[in-house]
């Protein structure tokens, strides 16, 4: 029997490493049990996850929300071949649906193979695509295959991958660079980290094919320094791949050379913008350059360069092995293949979801994600992080497709999907994202540096109850102009959360300016009161109030001093008689 523990950063954060140690310390020499690790399966809400495999490699049981104290029971069950003692840990049918409804290409090995072992990758047809390319395809044929697949950049912009590759291939110059953008910065997006941590060789293989296609002999992975485990796993994968001849000189006897290296980014969101990434790679301050010239002609070190993100590269080997046509069969008219989403927020089942383009938001959020937590109502989903926009309930049947999502004012983006329920204030949500973009603006162009700051300030005064008539129009004017005139994608998209929330939730903005937060989330605009008829005078609220704002004798109705109240909501939670009301 083999016990495999999901050790992505997320699993480790949930306690996977402790589970591993607990199991390891209890396994004796007599046990015919091997212990292994895998990456992230993508079911964040069930971590830590432990998989029990039969000797033939078939999955026997998937155990979820495992804690170190479950170790003895698990080992007993394995030794006895009887799972009755660990039934409560076995994944439910409903939770299995989270995976079974997905179509996994990018994530095909994630949570399945051991990311620290090249052999595990090779068993799964690893590096077969590279072999096929070197043996049978010219660079032009590779580009053609990618063109047939319809693969588009998964980092956010959705630009056709073949076009960029072709431009870089056609660019004049001996020295060219292939760069992987692993500076995954959108709050709430973590698919790229999952791929590197769980399946690093698939990234390397995709990049190798790309390097061959454009004629680059140096490949750089720009990983954010906040992903230490990804860096460790990728470095180990480089080492193993080099040892097996997949990296270096004359790869697989093809005569093609390619070296790989990592550049750790220092955590600036704007470095996810390709020209700022190049500046950073060159050792300069991460600030965008003007395009044109495009990186394909004048990129890293002013030489032809091609940049794709992790998820894009992770599709490449599959496309080469299965054919571009097979990939293009999935999806819609203008969006082919699959897309990985990081489903988070007020959702029952959060995690990584890979589905073919063309499914609806409703299918992802309700069928796969299991709907809204705590029986609350779905309100909106924020697509594409701070650069994206929100989509309201009325548009839940929008299909996932670059064009259809764009029409809503949101974007596909890198695949962040933050689900919000009725208790989320949409003005506050827009403000949250503007806070992020204001801080992450590089400071170069006026419209972004000052425009996002002023938008944030106006949103702040609105949520603080100091909004003025005319503020909505001012927000719209500023947003429109900042989008139009900012230098790079950061500034050009930063207003999206504001514009879409105004578009779909204008009444919430108006309510705030009139002195009310409909979601009850903005402290300055809510008040707590005690309903005299319902109050039994139990003093439960008095005891929890941290500022002694509640007074009243025992068995007498209490009252809240509004001048002292800090609106923490403790009284509301403490009251057993629904006597405290929030308005």
Partner 1 sequence: MSEITLTINGKTCAGHQGDSILHIAQANGITIPNLCAHEAVARYGACGMCVVEVAGNPKLVRSCSIDAADGMVIQTNTARTLQARKIAMELLMSDHEGDCVAPCSLSCPAGTDCQGYVKQIALGDDRKAVEIIKQKLPLPASIGRVCPHPCEKDCRRQYAEQAVSIAMLKQFAADNDLASAEPYRAALAAPTGKTVGVIGGGPGGLTAAYFLALAGHSVTIYDAMPKMGGMLRYGIPEYRLPKKVLDSEIAAIAAMGVTMKNDVKIGKDVAFDDLRKAHDATLVAIGAWKSSAIGCVGEELPGVLGGIDFLRAVALGGKPDIGKRVAVVGGGNTAMDACRTAVRLGAEEVYVVYRRTRNEMPAEDVEITEAMEEGVTFKFLTNPAEIIGKDGRAAAVKLQVMELGEPDASGRRSPVPVKDKFEYLDVDTVIGAIGQKVSPIGFEEIALNSRGIIAADEHTYRTSLEGVFAVGDATNKGASIAIEAIGEANRAAGVIDSYLKGAMAAFAEPFVSERAVTDAVKAMIAEKPKAARATMPQRAPEARKHDFAEINLGLAEEVARAEAKRCLECGCHDYHDCKLIECANLQEIHPERVAGEKHEGYVEQALGCIERNQNKCILCNLCVRTCDEVAGKAILGLVGRGFKTVIRPEFHDPAVIADCANCHKCADACPTGALKILK
469 forms part of the interface with partner 1 (CB under 8 A) = no
Taking residue 94's Cβ as centre, other Cβ atoms within 10 Å add up to 10
Paired with 352 in beta bridges are 342
Any residues with CB less than 8 A from the CB of 253 and at least 6 apart, and which? none
The token pair that represents 261 in the structure block: 């290296």
Question: Between residue 238 and residue 297, which ones bind partner 1 under the rule CB under 8 A?
Answer: 268, 285, 287, 290, 292
- Nearest approach in angstroms of CB 358 to partner 1 is 27
Taking residue 58's Cβ as centre, other Cβ atoms within 10 Å add up to 7
Considering only the stretches 90-98, 176-184, 362-370, 441-449, report the one whose residues sit in contact with partner 1 under the rule CB under 8 A: 441-449
What is the rounded distance in angstroms from the CA atom of residue 203 to the CA atom of residue 314?
5
3-state per-residue secondary structure call for 143-188: HHHHHHHCCECCCCCCCEHHHHHHHHHHCCCCCCEEEEEECCCCCC
Considering only the stretches 127-135, 397-405, 479-487, 511-519, report the one whose residues sit in contact with partner 1 under the rule CB under 8 A: 479-487
Q: Which is nearer to partner 1, 216 or 445 (CB)?
A: 445
C-alpha distance across the termini of the chain, in Å: 58
424 forms part of the interface with partner 1 (CB under 8 A) = no
477 forms part of the interface with partner 1 (CB under 8 A) = yes
Taking residue 566's Cβ as centre, other Cβ atoms within 10 Å add up to 12
DSSP 3-state of 509: helix
225 forms part of the interface with partner 1 (CB under 8 A) = no
Q: Which is nearer to partner 1, 336 or 444 (CB)?
A: 444
Applying CB under 8 A, among 202, 305, 438, 500 the residue interacting with partner 1 is 438
Number of amino acids touching partner 1 (CB under 8 A): 31
Applying CB under 8 A, among 240, 280, 424, 441 the residue interacting with partner 1 is 441
Q: Which is nearer to partner 1, 466 or 561 (CB)?
A: 466
Q: Are 399 and 330 in contact (CB under 8 A)?
A: no
Q: Which is nearer to partner 1, 29 or 290 (CB)?
A: 290
Applying CB under 8 A, among 449, 503, 516, 536 the residue interacting with partner 1 is 449
Q: Are 187 and 386 in contact (CB under 8 A)?
A: yes
- Nearest approach in angstroms of CB 480 to partner 1 is 8
What is the rounded distance in angstroms from the CA atom of residue 430 to the CA atom of residue 63?
38
Applying CB under 8 A, among 88, 249, 403, 439 the residue interacting with partner 1 is 439
- Nearest approach in angstroms of CB 457 to partner 1 is 4
485 forms part of the interface with partner 1 (CB under 8 A) = yes
- Nearest approach in angstroms of CB 489 to partner 1 is 12
Question: Between residue 487 and residue 526, which ones bind partner 1 under the rule CB under 8 A?
Answer: 487
- Nearest approach in angstroms of CB 337 to partner 1 is 27
On the CB side of 54, how many CA atoms lie within 13 Å of its CA? 6
Considering only the stretches 5-13, 370-378, 436-444, 568-576, report the one whose residues sit in contact with partner 1 under the rule CB under 8 A: 436-444
339 forms part of the interface with partner 1 (CB under 8 A) = no
- Nearest approach in angstroms of CB 469 to partner 1 is 13
430 forms part of the interface with partner 1 (CB under 8 A) = no
Question: Between residue 104 and residue 133, which ones bind partner 1 under the rule CB under 8 A?
Answer: none
| Distance, CA of 398 to chain centre | 20
DSSP 3-state of 262: strand
Paired with 391 in beta bridges are 381
- Nearest approach in angstroms of CB 92 to partner 1 is 46
CB under 8 A, 24+ apart: contacts of 119-124: 121/199, 121/201, 121/202
Q: What is the DSSP letter of 516?
A: -
Angle (CA) 327-414-224 rounded to 5° is: 115
431 forms part of the interface with partner 1 (CB under 8 A) = no
Q: Which is nearer to partner 1, 343 or 478 (CB)?
A: 478
Applying CB under 8 A, among 173, 228, 443, 515 the residue interacting with partner 1 is 443
Q: Which is nearer to partner 1, 195 or 268 (CB)?
A: 268
Any residues with CB less than 8 A from the CB of 485 and at least 6 apart, and which? 445, 447
Query: Which is nearest to 395 in space by CA: 377, 409, 376, 413?
Result: 409
Instruction: Kindly list the residues in this chain that would bind partner 1 in the complex (CB under 8 A).
Output: 268, 285, 287, 290, 292, 438-447, 449-454, 457, 474, 477-478, 481-482, 484-487
């Amino acid at each position: 029997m083999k016990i495999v523990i999901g050790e992505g950063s997320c699993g480790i954060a949930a306690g996977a490493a402790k589970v591993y140690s607990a199991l390891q310390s209890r396994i004796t020499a007599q046990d015919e049990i091997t212990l292994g690790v895998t990456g992230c399966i993508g079911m964040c809400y069930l971590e830590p996850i432990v998989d029990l495999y039969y000797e033939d490699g078939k999955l026997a049981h998937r155990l979820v929300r495992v804690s170190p104290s479950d170790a003895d029971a698990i080992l007993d069950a394995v030794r006895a071949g009887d799972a009755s003692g660990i039934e409560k840990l076995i994944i439910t049918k409903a939770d299995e649906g989270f995976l079974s409804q997905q179509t996994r290409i990018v994530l095909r090995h994630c949570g399945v193979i051991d990311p620290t072992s090249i052999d595990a990758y090779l068993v799964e047809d690893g590096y077969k695509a590279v072999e096929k390319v070197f043996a049978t395809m010219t660079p032009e044929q590779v580009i053609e295959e990618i063109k047939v697949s319809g693969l588009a950049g998964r980092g956010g912009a959705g630009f056709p991958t073949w076009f960029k590759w072709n431009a870089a291939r056609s660019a004049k110059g001996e020295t060219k660079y292939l760069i992987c953008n692993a500076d995954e910065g959108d709050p709430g997006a973590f698919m790229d980290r999952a791929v590197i941590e769980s399946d690093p060789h698939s990234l390397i293989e995709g990049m190798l094919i790309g390097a061959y296609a454009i004629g680059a002999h140096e490949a750089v992975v720009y990983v954010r320094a906040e992903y230490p485990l990804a860096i460790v796993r990728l470095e180990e994968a480089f080492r193993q791949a080099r040892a097996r001849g997949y990296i270096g000189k004359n790869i697989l006897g093809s005569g093609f050379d390619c070296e790989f290296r990592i550049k750790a980014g220092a955590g600036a969101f704007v470095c996810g913008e390709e020209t700022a990434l190049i500046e950073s790679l060159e050792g300069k301050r991460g600030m965008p350059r003007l395009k044109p010239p495009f990186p394909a002609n004048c990129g890293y070190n002013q030489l032809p360069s091609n940049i794709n993100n992790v998820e894009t590269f992770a599709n490449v080997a599959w496309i080469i092995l299965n054919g571009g046509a097979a990939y293009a069969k999935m999806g819609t008219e203008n969006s082919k293949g699959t897309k990985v989403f990081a489903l988070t927020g007020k959702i029952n089942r959060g995690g990584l979801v890979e589905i073919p383009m063309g499914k609806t938001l409703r299918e992802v959020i309700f069928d796969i994600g299991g709907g809204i937590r705590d029986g609350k109502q779905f309100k909106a989903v924020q697509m594409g992080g701070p650069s994206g926009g929100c989509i309201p309930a009325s548009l839940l049947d929008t299909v996932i497709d670059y064009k259809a999502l764009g029409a809503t004012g949101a974007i596909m983006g890198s695949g962040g999907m933050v689900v919000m329920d009725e208790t989320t204030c949409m003005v506050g949500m827009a403000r949250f994202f503007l806070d992020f973009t204001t801080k992450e603006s590089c400071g170069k162009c006026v419209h972004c540096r000052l425009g996002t700051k002023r938008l944030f300030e106006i949103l702040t005064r609105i949520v603080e109850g100091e909004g003025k008539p005319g503020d909505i129009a001012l927000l719209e004017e500023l947003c429109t102009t900042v989008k139009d005139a900012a230098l790079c994608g950061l500034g050009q998209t930063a207003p999206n959360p504001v514009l879409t929330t105004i578009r779909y939730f204008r009444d919430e903005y108006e309510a705030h300016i009139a002195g009310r937060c409909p979601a009850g989330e903005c402290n300055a605009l809510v008040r707590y009161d005690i309903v005299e008829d319902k109050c039994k005078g139990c003093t439960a609220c008095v005891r929890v109030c941290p500022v002694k704002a509640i007074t009243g004798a025992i068995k007498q109705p209490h009252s809240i001093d509004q001048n002292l109240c800090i609106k923490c909501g403790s009284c509301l939670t403490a009251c057993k008689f629904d006597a405290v009301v929030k308005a």
